[in-house]
Amino acid sequence: MTAIGMAVPQKRIDNVFFESFLETTDEWIVSRTGIKTRYHTAEDEFTSDLCIKAAANLLETFPGVTLDGVDMILVSTVTPDQPMPSMACRLQYKLDLPQAGALDVYAACAGFSYAVVVAKGLISAGTHRKILVFGAETLSKITDFTDRTSCMLFGDGAGVVLLEADELGNVGACITGASGEGGPDLYISGFAKTIDGHPLKMDRTIVQNGRKVFKWAVTKVAEQMPVLAAKNGLTLDEIDWFVPHSANLRIIEAISNETGFPVEKTLESIVDFGNTSSASIPIALYRGIVTGKVKKGDKIMLLGFGGGLAYAGTVITW
């Protein structure tokens, strides 16, 4: 992993926005989620647009890097501009990378981590040498703004990293897993009207059982953190930074309480950007790097979790 970039829309949404049409307050939102602001796309602004801006930011942030030779594009999103063609194909065209393969990864909030695992595998297999991995969402376009329990959670944004072949490498051992029985607890409807006999809300907005997802996330992440560290020959004490999916600040705090991992060594994007699903981990990592928190040689655990229910993670050495 040699470079990173991010982008969010211009339209900033503060908590007071929700007070005009919901029975809620800034204090209530912050106390339960930690979120202060998030960003929403314009009506004519889409996921591919944010990806293009994130790629431009990557090149601006790391001026010695170029996209010449990129031979694969992976995009994690549940909010593509359209179901087909894929976001990766659209970006291959828009970024003028004619030699690159293109694939979307559909694993919701765990998608960016899954895509990094896939990219590592492709490079390790020798089939590819330079891969762009995006995590990008326009969740405001699939948010039910009548749902007082969840509509204030979601924001729009994109992050991207560049992975390149190297003799040493800095992307370590990975974990992947799922609890597929949790499908009805976090979904966006499509064609089928049920999941495992559970009737679905058929309006193609995000639906979640907040309490069940909260409990699963805390339990599963607390269980897997030491497993992932051990696979990399480390203990949790040797991890410099933890970057979980930023679903809710209270989830992050609960994971810290369960594991004893210091919350001050956790990088989040939830407070300023809301829950951006696939984009939350690269945005949090980007901010840690550009602010100077993350130092060269730091060991950083990435662990995504979400719809599926699914999880994936790795440890990188910056």
Catalytic residue among 15, 232, 248, 275: 275
Question: For the domain 172-267+293-317, what is the CATH superfamily, name and number?
Answer: Thiolase/Chalcone synthase (3.40.47.10)
Tell me the angle at which helices 249-259 and 26-33 cross, rounded to the nearest 10 degrees: 30
Which amino acid is residue 108, in one-letter code? A
d(CA 312, CA 107) in angstroms, rounded, equals 10
Domain extents in the chain = 3-168, 172-267+293-317
Catalytic residue among 57, 89, 245, 248: 245
Is the Cα torsion angle 14, 54, 85, 131 positive or negative in sign? Answer: negative
Is there a shared CATH topology between the 3-168 domain and the 172-267+293-317 domain?
A: yes
The answer to whether residue 40 is catalytic is no
Contact 29, 40 (CB under 8 A): no
Tell me the angle at which helices 249-259 and 210-231 cross, rounded to the nearest 10 degrees: 50
d(CA 77, CA 110) in angstroms, rounded, equals 10
Decide if domain 3-168 falls under CATH 3.30.420.480. Answer: no
Contact 272, 250 (CB under 8 A): no
Tell me the angle at which helices 111-125 and 280-290 cross, rounded to the nearest 10 degrees: 80
pLDDT in tens, the chain (318 residues): 999 999 999 999 999 999 989 999 999 999 999 999 999 999 999 999 999 999 999 999 999 999 999 999 999 999 999 999 999 999 999 999 999 999 999 999 999 999 999 999 999 999 999 999 999 999 999 999 999 889 999 999 999 999 999 988 999 999 999 999 999 999 999 999 999 999 999 999 999 998 999 999 999 999 999 999 999 999 999 999 999 999 999 999 999 999 999 999 999 999 999 999 999 999 999 999 999 999 999 999 999 999 999 999 999 999
Contact 283, 159 (CB under 8 A): yes
Total-model pTM = 0.97
The pLDDT of residue 118 is 98
The answer to whether residue 245 is catalytic is yes
The answer to whether residue 275 is catalytic is yes
The pLDDT of residue 148 is 87
Catalytic residue among 109, 151, 232, 248: 109
Which amino acid is residue 72, in one-letter code? M
Which amino acid is residue 102, in one-letter code? A
